[in-house]
Amino acid sequence: MSVKLFVTDLDGTLLPGGKTVSPENIRAVREAVRAGVTVTIATGRMYRAALPVAEALGVEVPIITYNGALIRSTSGRVYYRSDIQPGTVRRVVEFCRMRGWHVQTYSRDELYFAEYDDYARAYERDQQIRGHVVGWDGLMEHTEEVSKLLSITDGAEQTEARLHELREAFGREVSPVRSKANYAEIINPGVSKADGIRRLAETLGIAAADTMAIGDAENDLPMLKAAGRSVAMGNAVPEVREACDYVTSECEQNGFAVAVYRYVLGRE
């Protein structure tokens, strides 16, 4: 197969240390682009948080953000978006408020908190972005172009319980999913990184067989399975390593760049 679309996760894959792109990975991306490959990012992050990473690559890259709810290039071209209905946003916010859950919304690519608690502070540090503290009434006002809502918990068990409650209450109106142990994300049904890959490939006229994805975490599995070929990072969880066609070096060893040269460009 020839790889025409290469899709990468961010944390633990493209980003050694989770913060900045290494020079080695930047060079690998640029060489792939020069060879005619479209390189794209797929992440649960908001567009504004993913944009600095994409810009560091120095190429015009379409970014799959909000776990597939928004596909937008570094220059601002929107390829696809799937926003939650304003009425649904308000009902989910009220549902969380009544249970004392932390919830944050993303409206028009701005981040909003009801309260500036420890969850909000930790999220800002992790994503290197600042949100707006607007209170519960304020969350009810910012309901346009909401790509997702996020409820942050204290761990995987609490997250799973919260997801169960949301599914019971909202049925197929929204799709609650776990993206990290303590992240309960609320997006539209059918939205996923895997769907983002399929949509982008179709838009670009690229066959599914000519796509490749790389990742490390359990929540990357759908997109890895959706791609024509898949690569697991050396630091990937066992489930990812078992599901992928190839395994590269660890993130801290620039396994992303190794994968590009070996599996995309056919070099050793």
Please give, one letter per residue, the 3-state secondary structure of the chain.
Answer: CCCCEEEECCECCCEHHHCCCCHHHHHHHHHHHHCCCEEEEECCCCHHHHHHHHHHHCCCCEEEEHHHCEEEECCCCEEEECCECHHHHHHHHHHHHHHCCCCEEEECCEEEECCCCHHHHHHHHHHCCCCEECHHHHHHHCCCCEEEEEEECCCHHHHHHHHHHHHHHHCCCCEEEEEECCEEEEECCCCCHHHHHHHHHHHHCCCHHHEEEEECCHHHHHHHHHCCEEEECCCCCHHHHHHCCEECCCHHHCHHHHHHHHHHCCCC
* Residue 197 binned pLDDT confidence (cut-offs 50, 70, 90): very high
The whole-model pTM stands at 0.89
Share of the chain above pLDDT 90, in %: 84
Q: Which residues pair with 232 in a beta bridge?
A: 215, 247
Whichever domain contains 55, its CATH number is 3.40.50.1000
pLDDT at 16 over 80: no
Residues 166 and 227 in one domain: no
* Residue 219 binned pLDDT confidence (cut-offs 50, 70, 90): confident
* Residue 112 binned pLDDT confidence (cut-offs 50, 70, 90): very high
Angstrom distances, CA of residue 16 to CA of 8, 20, 67, 146, 173: 13, 7, 21, 30, 37
pLDDT at 255 over 60: yes
Average pLDDT of the residues in 43-71: 90
Q: What is the pLDDT of residue 230?
A: 98
Residues 169 and 208 in one domain: no
Residues 215 and 162 in one domain: no
Residues 15 and 36 in one domain: yes
Q: What is the pLDDT of residue 17?
A: 66
Residues 203 and 75 in one domain: yes
206: containing domain: 5-81+191-264
Which residue among 165, 187, 209 closes a domain?
Answer: 187
Residues 72 and 198 in one domain: yes
Residues 53 and 119 in one domain: no
Q: What is the pLDDT of residue 103?
A: 98
Residues 90 and 76 in one domain: no
Share of the chain above pLDDT 70, in %: 99
Which residue among 187, 212, 239 closes a domain?
Answer: 187
* Residue 1 binned pLDDT confidence (cut-offs 50, 70, 90): low
Measured N-to-C along each axis, helices 47-57 and 23-34 cross at an angle, to the nearest 10 degrees, of: 80
Residues 229 and 248 in one domain: yes
Residues 154 and 180 in one domain: yes
pLDDT at 67 over 70: yes
Whichever domain contains 92, its CATH number is 3.30.1240.10
Number of domains in the chain: 2
pLDDT at 168 over 60: yes
Average pLDDT of the residues in 13-17: 84
Residues 154 and 230 in one domain: no
Contacts of 28 (CB under 8 A, 6+ apart): 254, 256, 257, 260, 261
Question: Distance between CA 161 and CA 178 in Å, rounded?
Answer: 11
Q: What is the pLDDT of residue 6?
A: 96
* Residue 59 binned pLDDT confidence (cut-offs 50, 70, 90): confident
Q: Write the pLDDT tens digit of every residue in 17-36.
A: 657 899 999 999 999 999 99
Residues 173 and 235 in one domain: no
Which residue among 187, 217, 232 closes a domain?
Answer: 187
Give the alpha-carbon dihedral of 226, 230, 232, 233, to 10 degrees: -110
Q: Write the pLDDT tens digit of every residue in 134-159.
A: 999 999 999 999 999 999 999 999 99
